[in-house]
Structure 1
């Protein structure tokens, strides 16, 4: 990533047309945004914030509304995972105002708004936002590169809906999460998506806690933590289930807490 950004900087110093100059600034904006997203996944927030500022500045200079919207949506995700639910809601709504209508950024920001409402415990607003999201996703086709982070994959909407319902404590969260996990682990509906499946296990574990099924919740959480696929930005989700098991004095809680300390220790940030 650094090499690509350095190459863009080098090209900016070379002779070029105004059109070529703008294309380079846009490329730099996308690369900075992608770098910020990766750094957030690693929980390296100061470095991520610097990359986000660069991406936002380049979006402003080029008038690129989609990059600008993704910057706001990315920040919304970061503060949502840190417990800033009200701020995440405001950022997700701001991203929708900036994004081109119907764009991937607009859809993703709508999904983030729903998750923020769920964390705030506002059931009516959550379901209204989820209904808007489903209307946006319904006409979409699966993109050629479904794992492209900035091209919305309609298959993600099921996983987002499951997460949102779990966070809201909706009674439908458990059966819906089971269905999502089964589809993600199956090869009958596209290729298996193991990283999404890990997050889906944690969603289901949280739903099982709410349904007073701590044994299975513990098993799923341990499987997620030992999979080797859990990224640092999802460690807090595992910690939430572990804390829930501890609050219930479940026998699995001690083993899971030890596994969490061993496998989910904070990553060292770059200087």
Structure 2
């Protein structure tokens, strides 16, 4: 029986393989495993069985290290609880604090382009470092900076866990992020925690709760802040999923007003700094869900902006999502052939993360219903690239 995916296993497997100077193909030949299976183990897309871990231990002379990781998976709740218990005291200088805050920004900026399984170990390492520093002695001002940095890292970690469909781990780290935000009295961070919960429950089909959490986030976050804007956009998504086109449009109008004079942030790819370009992408997704005829025009404009040369652009994950959004809009507009081609491009890019898989699944279901011959090829691609645990068609990515 497969265990839960532990990101430490993939990192350890890669380290032992590289120590032996083996490529994935060579290791596959020695271990009688396919190259693709070993790759999925290393990047965290599949969990190893105990037998597989023991066999790889023998092949790589790892002295049982891999099997021990399978037998003793990460206790996410315990890790989060440890961090939460460290919020009362902290001996660090300005240089260290500046470096930590820079790392938080770097990781949040890597989120749109880095694979979740690769980003997770980096976030964990920095979060553990902040936890250790919270054991030292610092001034109140320094302690607050650590609490805020830890809060951002905890909510980012929760987001990555949601992307990987690891909801128990996500819930634990969201609770830790809320505790840190409350201790630091950081209202925008509190708003992001609520917005992230809203996104998570939306992916699980609880649209009414998503609507309530989105509104709570708007009340908590500072007016006009990134969290406030994102929560407003999330409200529009909830209304769209409930089929209320009028309320969907009203929420999108509020997003448009909030972003009308918003400057592009210094690091537009930063997940927690609202980029005005996001408004158009969210509008495309939301209108497609609501079945609004305006979805196609907006979705085409978003894709053209993200990927003008058709090569994935600077933000390949967003480009893949934009193709799927346009595919949904085209199916609704009675153009299933182009929708199938766009969905196939998105899936074959390998950039559709687990929490975004609903988009491909929904396009596939609709083009199959339409009887498009090319739907057979799209299904084959979906079977090839789908994550080990598929979200339902109601799931929604960032």
TM bucket (normalised to shorter chain) is over 0.9
Instruction: After TM superposition, list the pairs within 5 Å mapping 1:67-78 onto structure 2.
Output: 67-78=189-200
Which of structures 1 and 2 has the bigger CA Rg? 2
Structure-1 residue corresponding to 2:187: 65
SS in 2 for 1:93: helix
Structure-2 residue corresponding to 1:30: 152
Structure-1 residue corresponding to 2:204: 82
Deviation at 1:248, TM superposition (A): 2.3
Structure-1 residue corresponding to 2:259: 137
Q: For structure 1, which runs of at least 5 residues remain unmatched after alignment?
A: none
User: Which of 110, 114, 122 in structure 1 is aligned with 2:236?
Assistant: 114
SS in 1 for 2:276: coil
Distance in 1 (alpha carbons) for counterparts of 2:151 and 2:261: 29
Distance in 1 (alpha carbons) for counterparts of 2:337 and 2:248: 29
1:219 is the counterpart of 2:341: yes
Q: Please, which moves more after superposition, 250-259 or 131-140?
A: 250-259
Moved over 6 A (4+): none
User: Which of 201, 209, 220 in structure 1 is aligned with 2:331?
Assistant: 209
8 Å Cα contact 1:8-1:24 kept in structure 2: yes
Structure-2 residue corresponding to 1:198: 320
1:229 is the counterpart of 2:351: yes
Deviation at 1:193, TM superposition (A): 2.8
Distance in 2 (alpha carbons) for counterparts of 1:265 and 1:60: 35
Distance in 2 (alpha carbons) for counterparts of 1:23 and 1:145: 21
CA deviations 1:66-117 (Å, max 9, x no partner) are 1111011011111212222111111111100110111100000001001111
User: Which of 3, 21, 32 in structure 1 is aligned with 2:143?
Assistant: 21
Output the TM-score relative to the length of structure 2: 0.64
Deviation at 1:257, TM superposition (A): 2.1
Distance in 1 (alpha carbons) for counterparts of 2:214 and 2:374: 37
Deviation at 1:179, TM superposition (A): 1.5
Distance in 2 (alpha carbons) for counterparts of 1:259 and 1:186: 24
SS in 2 for 1:91: helix
User: Which of 125, 142, 156 in structure 1 is aligned with 2:278?
Assistant: 156
CA deviations 1:194-220 (Å, max 9, x no partner) are 221111110110011111111111111
SS in 2 for 1:155: helix
8 Å Cα contact 1:42-1:267 kept in structure 2: no
Deviation at 1:260, TM superposition (A): 1.2
Structure-2 residue corresponding to 1:264: 386
Structure-1 residue corresponding to 2:167: 45
Instruction: After TM superposition, list the pairs within 5 Å mapping 1:95-114 onto structure 2.
Output: 95-114=217-236
Deviation at 1:267, TM superposition (A): 5.3
Output the TM-score relative to the length of structure 1: 0.93
User: Which of 115, 127, 130 in structure 2 is aligned with 1:8?
Assistant: 130
Q: Please, which moves more after superposition, 53-62 or 147-156?
A: 53-62
Structure-1 residue corresponding to 2:296: 174
| Coordinate RMSD, CA, aligned | 1.5
CA deviations 1:168-205 (Å, max 9, x no partner) are 11111112211111111128xxx743221111110110
8 Å Cα contact 1:5-1:28 kept in structure 2: yes
Distance in 2 (alpha carbons) for counterparts of 1:198 and 1:45: 24
8 Å Cα contact 1:33-1:51 kept in structure 2: yes
Distance in 1 (alpha carbons) for counterparts of 2:125 and 2:316: 29
